[in-house]
Amino acid sequence: MSTPTEPTVWGDLDKRFKTDTKKCYYCGICEPLCPAFTPLFKLLSREYEEQGAPATREEFGAIADLCYYCKLCLPACGIGVNFPRLILDYKIARVKERGQTLQNTLLMNQELIGKLSSPVAPIANWALANGLNRRVMEFVVGIDHRRTMPKIAGEPFPRWFKNHPPKKGAGTRKVAIFSGCFTDYYDPAVGIAAVKVLERNGVEMIYPQQRCCGIPMLSEGSLDKALENFKANISVLAPLAKEGYTIVALDGPCAMTFRQEVPQFLGTEDARNVGFRVRDINQYLSEMFKRGELDTNFNPVEGTVAYHASCAAKLQRIETAGFDLLKLIPGLTVARVDKGCCGFDGTFGFKKQTFDLANQVGAELFAWVKSTNAQEAITDCPLCKVQIADGAHVRTAHPVEVIARAYGF
């Protein structure tokens, strides 16, 4: 990258870009995985094949904006290039130099928006569904008017939990719920189902003070904001981990963040201990089943569902956990989908400039879901639910919601 700037901001990114992407150019196995790689290889071809000018920082920035940090290229890479981290470091440097955009600032602060909007949820939801308002939002902040906006809950999950304290368990299994800001303010039904399922299995639960896990801020390059949330959550969760609590995350990307990103960026013993104690809700229930501790006295649930594992589940190598649990339910036919990323990925699927591309990424998944004739698509990621509902025109649910139904809740 040829544009000069402060070395304190960009560090060795120029050198890393040159050395890492050259390795990528002579491989190319990752190109089908992500829309960022085709334009990258075109830039590299200009330099290496046509002897043209090397890529500039601005050109690489356009490529960086096509990477939505799914990280599926990491396990596919056979030459050790950490392309997602290279992209992330570029975004971090860009934010430090220029500040964050209004669009990203809005989209990465869904927790704050949920808190402010929940008391006036009916009005907020009307505004989000109004065609004229959506056109204004698209013009002002670039949120595509075609995207179905998640409805804001009138009763957020933290308030529901406070008003419906779970029954005391036997004390042998203690769980601290980390619900995630989407469950808290947009889809509390997932949290309610999780509490009922865990309660049915005699699990003692608490809901500790918590903030957004920080992955929306991190993936957009706002490292300082992400670190602030990382540290705040670890300060609460680390003592609980030492007391023997398992931290059960209801949102797959939240679980991945605590297990991979937080220990890496904080580098503390507390962060590593919390990461070790974190379980995705599907993983936690699956481990209970393997130990013979899960109540499998399920009622029949007739029908067909299509199961999609999120990128976060794949990165944690727990992509079959929810699928295996659903197969235990009598009467339920579960078709497993393995068609890559859904394409939504944090803020990517909201943005006008990437909305169509997000749907192109998810097109094969949508077609496969439709081909199963499933009444419902099941996934561990809340934004996958939004994307599949919009793209495949089918109802969506979290695995724990289906399990709760099978228990008769």
263 and 368: one domain? no
| Contact call for residues 381 and 253 (beta carbons, < 8 A) | yes
**Domain assignment of residue 368, yes or no:** yes
**What DSSP line would sit under 38-53, residue for residue?**
HHHHHHHHHHHTS--P
Mean pLDDT in residue range 319-324:
96
Other C-beta atoms closer than 10 Å to the C-beta of 174 total 15
Same domain, yes or no: 174 and 188: yes
Claim: this prediction has a pTM higher than 0.85: yes
**Domain assignment present for 113:** yes
On whether residue 151 sits in a domain, the answer given is no
Residue that is last in its domain, among 232, 262, 288: 288
pLDDT band at 4 (very low <50, low <70, confident <90, very high): very low
Q: Dmax over Cα atoms in the chain, in whole Å?
A: 70
Residue 93 and residue 112 in one domain: no
Q: Residue 134, SS3?
A: helix
Whether residue 163 sits in one domain with residue 283? yes
Domain boundaries, position 71: 7-98
Number of compact structural domains in the chain:
4
Q: Same domain for 263 and 327? A: no
Q: For the range 292-298, what are the long-range contacts, defined as Cβ-Cβ under 8 Å and sequence gap of 24 or more? A: 293/173, 293/201, 294/201, 295/200, 295/201, 295/407, 296/328, 298/328, 298/329, 298/330, 298/403, 298/406, 298/407
pLDDT tens track for 240-264: 999 999 999 999 999 999 999 999 9
pLDDT in tens, 366-391: 999 999 999 999 999 999 999 999 99
Same domain, 199 and 235: yes
Q: What is the CATH number of the domain that holds 187?
A: 1.20.1050
Distance CA 90, CA 17 (A): 9
Same domain as 344, residue 233:
no
Q: Are residues 179 and 274 in the same domain?
A: yes
Q: Which of 288, 319, 344 is the last residue of a domain?
A: 288
Instruction: Return the CATH number at 363.
Output: 3.40.50.10700
Q: Decide the pairing of beta strands 246-249 and 332-337.
A: unpaired
> CA-based angle 132:137:138, to the nearest 5?
95
Per-residue tokens: 84: 């997602």
In a domain, 265, yes or no: yes
Residue type, 57: R
State the CB neighbour count (10 A cutoff) for residue 31.
Answer: 15
Residue pLDDT, tens place only, 260-305: 999 999 999 999 999 999 999 999 999 999 999 999 999 999 999 9
pLDDT, tens only, 28-85: 788 888 888 888 888 888 777 666 677 788 888 888 899 888 888 888 887 888 889 9
Considering the domain architecture, whether residues 165 and 230 belong to the same structural domain is answered as yes
- Residue 146 domain flag: no
Burial of 154 (0-12, 13-18, 19+ CB in 10 A): middle
Q: Decide which of 288, 322, 344 is a domain's last residue.
A: 288
Instruction: Identify whether residues 166 and 179 lie together within a single domain.
Output: yes
Question: How confident is the model at residue 26, as a pLDDT?
Answer: 75
For the cut 90, the answer to whether the pLDDT of residue 237 exceeds it is yes
Is residue 152 domain-resident?
Answer: no
Question: What local confidence, expressed as pLDDT, does residue 170 receive?
Answer: 61
Residue 194 within a domain: yes
Count of alpha carbons within 13 Å of 200, Cβ hemisphere only?
21
Look at residue 62 and tell me if it is in a domain: yes
Residue 169's pLDDT is: 63
Tokens 């000069």 belong to 4
Which amino acid, residue 318?
Answer: I
Dihedral sign (CA 268, 105, 211, 180): negative
**Are 133 and 198 in the same domain?**
no
133 in the same domain as 94: no
Q: How many CB atoms lie within 10 A of CB 49?
A: 9
Kindly report, residue by residue over 188-217, the tens digit of the pLDDT.
999 999 999 999 999 999 999 999 999 999
pLDDT at 238 over 70: yes
